[in-house]
Chains A and B, each alone.
Chain A
């Protein structure tokens, strides 16, 4: 007898059958449109350009060169094979000592050497995804909550809350002060949680910020430290974009701040990763660094669920302890990010599109409020569908980051080559230009008509169809960074 689907559902856990992984949003257009029609400079120049993926692809040449020159770093080459069996056998959750040391040193260098890190506090995890979840498992029980300033990385919903049962309480930030976190916003969020009998265990910040691309200033950081100490709650600092800071102000990490303040160190925890700074998301290197000995101890035991492959540890231990290489990489990477950022933001400015002034990250926080027909999230969705379907750029709408103001979009710039950036800018110019032209025409005909509505009319009927659909605010491509990349050459399986 075939089992019924609903009977089977009962046999699975609530976690397996609820939607709290956040990947099932009714709206897949952006992702699917890209997958169905991916841009290629020569083979598919009319395809959708992927600008929803925060990857750092600008500096692989430096790494490849290093690998070529350092065959010993691989346990599989003739030069390195003598290490094979010991490394392959090594599953100690403390990690290879040289790996931990290299990570601590690298973290320090990524912060300009202004602070140092103790290798004994380095705990491995399955990427930053695993690190964030691990920290929650250590600090909070089911039903507890963490405050998170919005806009925030959408997958936090899954990483922090799916299996842990921890709730997210957003701390609203808006453009009135460039999305800075204010004491008032923190207090308001905290009080709201208290009034709803929600037990707040901590605050989690991303610094540099995703999606804003900005670093937190020292004053803000100090006020956050004061806040969490007053409330006796934890502060988790996700610093995975630390080395993507490409212009001033320089990055101020939490370690620097607490060194000069009266702060209970047991409340301070850092999440780190090599996925963004080095461009290594596939290698799954996540780090939890805590100033709380108990968290280090327990976190280490939990790391069994997501250790870094010893093969990868071995290679990276060698790579990241090569001081010359690290110096060269960090400097060059920052330069290239700065340049790419400049090309992109200049290109946008030319057509009157502004971005939040940023100095870090792999993306810009683009202000398209004036292009909205309605200053609502519905309006934002309408514009988004136009951008995906007509302009053929997959960008990420601010609502998916829980931004409280409609009209902001995150657009990534470091996951493509220069030529593709040019094409993207050309399309944006054309799109905005068309809008302006339509506006001028409308003003000639009927000066009172808003140009935005004519902008809408200038596109195909398909865009109108989408306006009637329900609003969903998740871009699944962003929600599930581990979704298929059907155009990776690695997916053309050979048997």
Chain B
């Protein structure tokens, strides 16, 4: 008899993928400004480290929130005992207000429809447990966050079927791609329960267009399925076009509780990216469907938010002066940082997808590939990790269907480290490829490299998700 469960014995947690291997290499040899100047610079971590000072100065001015006090009285005992899965009402109110503020107050959220979870990781898994049975499927546009393979599939037994997006239109979702994915699922006898999108997108660093959102809504309406919009980067949309939430589009279309689709649109949120607080494990599920809210609330028992943290953040997010200032300053600093990365890449003859959000750029290194294959992508990635000593994330780990794209993060390191990283990259490219500086156009150009090799015939290397997924893996 197998002693452990299938969950424990197969690698469906997805953590053997290159995305995580890069992290491991980093951990063996991490860059340090003083102690290890030749170490690997971590650019594979989508963290927001740019605005801690704003939170720290708020804390300095608001000692009560820190000291388990309310109106001068100690509330430690009450907090320590508070395990109500409905969450601290003051915190949920503050959360929904913050979410509305990020969306320019164009939409509002009802705190009674918000369920707190231990991070977006837990929120996403909980949604799948609520909406799909083992063996059913969710459609997800590629490229997507590699952690979804764990969060959505591992313990739930649900499959992911990719919606293929390509550079031909800036990786936007098309009607054709949606339909094709749906057919593919049907061919594999997988019942599709919904579509999950990340908006703003990880790894693309772009916000979805209104058209894409309309398209999605029509699609899920037509198929009678769910739409989960993971909006954990909503507060990082730092330049135009502005972020449009799926909730806003519902409102635009006058969809309310009288429309079926209204109940099938759900949002995931978190404070890990917008506020840079991944350690606090604050995630949230938002749904218009009472049954989903009820089921998710019960499930949240398996991963509630620490009451100590709820109390602190409730005070913080209720301070509208702080939130207003934070949102604006966060945008400003992210925008500047992204600009620095883009210009650094350009100096190395590398361009990226025109991004307006997120904590990373979607970088085009196709012209540096030996051949238009994922093998070549892996080869290039290994060089970048082991020789250039930069940890960046290869597109294949994000299930991108086109080789040569990489996600490079810019908000998790000091500016001088970012500059150093760009210098290293420039030196590498110069040495191996002799590629001239790009003149600032956002579209990538297919330059032949110094070895004079022409692109081989394009080989479609299917990621495992493109085949009919194997059940019970």
Contacts and interface: CB of A to CB of B under 8 A. Distances in A.
A-B complex is real? yes
Interface of A: 1-3, 5, 7-9, 11-17, 21, 23, 55, 57, 60, 63-64, 67, 71, 74-78, 81, 84-85, 87-91, 126-127, 129-130, 133, 137-142, 144, 158-159, 163, 199, 232, 234, 266, 275, 278-284, 292, 294-295, 298, 301-302, 304-312, 315, 480-485, 488-491, 493-495
B303 A126 contact: yes
Interface string B56-91: 100110010111100000111111111111101110
A491 B70 CA distance: 13
A485 B130 contact: no
A64 B79 CA distance: 12
B308 A311 contact: yes
B130 A89 contact: no
Interface string B92-128: 0100000000000000000000000011011001000
Contact of A8 (B68, B278, B291): B291
Contacts of A484: 84, 86
Given A15-B129, A88-B279, A127-B83, A67 B93 contact: no
A141 B75 CA distance: 42
Contacts of A138: 4-5, 7-8
Interface stretch (B177-185, B256-264, B359-367, B382-390): B256-264
Given A17-B295, A64-B76, A67-B68, A1 B259 contact: yes
B303 A279 contact: no
A127 B303 CA distance: 7
A283 B7 contact: no
Contact of A298 (B13, B63, B312): B13
A434 B49 CA distance: 68
B84 A139 contact: no
A76 B122 contact: no
B280 A311 contact: yes
Interface string B193-213: 100000000000000000000
Contacts of A485: 81-82, 84
Contact of B8 (A17, A130, A139): A139
A6 B285 CA distance: 22
Interface stretch (B131-139, B238-246, B434-442): B131-139
A266 B2 CA distance: 13
B354 interface: no
Contacts of B303: 126, 130, 284, 305-306
A490 B119 CA distance: 22
B279 A11 contact: no
Contact of B155 (A126, A294, A302, A307): A302
A495 B93 contact: yes
B278 A89 contact: yes
A224 to B, nearest CB: 18
B302 A282 contact: no
Nearest to A142: B134
B118 A76 contact: no
Contacts of A88: 52, 55, 276-280
Nearest to A78: B60
Contacts of B68: 64, 67
B414 interface: no
B59 to A, nearest CB: 5
A483 B84 contact: yes
A127 B63 contact: no
Contacts of A91: 119, 272, 278-279, 281
Given A67-B67, A91-B279, A305-B121, 4 more contacts: A16-B131, A81-B56, A282-B306, A305-B118
B299 interface: yes
B264 A482 contact: no
Interface string B1-45: 101111111000101000000000000000000000000000000
16 contacts: A7-B260, A8-B291, A64-B74, A67-B76, A75-B66, A76-B66, A77-B66, A126-B302, A266-B3, A280-B80, A283-B80, A294-B4, A302-B13, A315-B308, A495-B90, A495-B93
**Residue from B5, B134, B193, B259 having most chain A Cβ neighbours under 10 A:** B5
Contacts of A1: 258-260
For the complex of A and B, 7 pairs with smallest distance between CB atoms: A76-B66, A310-B279, A282-B307, A482-B85, A493-B89, A306-B303, A309-B306
A286 B459 CA distance: 48
Contact of B304 (A158, A284, A292): A284
B461 interface: no
Nearest to A267: B3
* B interface residue count range (under 10 / 10 to 19 / 20 to 34 / 35 or more): 35 or more
B122 to A, nearest CB: 5
Contacts of A302: 7, 13, 154-155
A482 B301 contact: yes
Interface in B257-311: 257-260, 263-264, 272, 276-281, 289, 291-292, 295, 298-309, 311
B459 to A, nearest CB: 33
Contacts of A7: 260
A127 B80 CA distance: 13
Interface of B: 1, 3-9, 13, 15, 47, 49, 52, 55-56, 59-60, 63, 65-68, 74-86, 88-90, 93, 118-119, 121-122, 125, 129-134, 136, 150-151, 154-155, 157, 193, 224-226, 257-260, 263-264, 272, 276-281, 289, 291-292, 295, 298-309, 311-312, 318
Contacts of B134: 142
Contact of A482 (B8, B118, B225, B304): B304
A130 B299 CA distance: 10
B386 to A, nearest CB: 23
Contacts of A5: 291
Given A23-B298, A90-B279, A305-B121, A12 B130 contact: yes
Given A8-B289, A306-B302, A16 B272 contact: no
Contacts of B302: 126, 129-130, 133, 159, 163, 305-306
A81 B280 contact: no
A8 B261 CA distance: 10
A199 B1 contact: yes
A479 to B, nearest CB: 10
A81 B15 contact: no
A55 B81 contact: yes
A282 B63 contact: no
Contacts of B67: 67, 71, 74, 76-77
Nearest to A495: B93
Nearest to A131: B302
B308 A282 contact: yes
B90 A493 contact: yes
A127 B281 CA distance: 13
Contacts of A90: 278-279
Contacts of A495: 90, 93, 318
A165 to B, nearest CB: 8
Contacts of B155: 137, 163, 302, 305
Given A306-B118, A481-B83, A137 B7 contact: yes
A11 B225 contact: yes
B44 to A, nearest CB: 14
A212 B298 CA distance: 27
Contacts of B65: 76
A447 to B, nearest CB: 51
A320 to B, nearest CB: 14
Nearest to A15: B129
A304 B299 CA distance: 15
Nearest to A76: B66
A364 to B, nearest CB: 21
B82 A279 contact: no
A163 B49 contact: no
B226 A11 contact: yes
B376 to A, nearest CB: 30
A275 B81 CA distance: 8
Contact of B309 (A3, A144, A312, A490): A312
Contacts of A78: 60, 63
B427 to A, nearest CB: 30
A12 B291 contact: yes
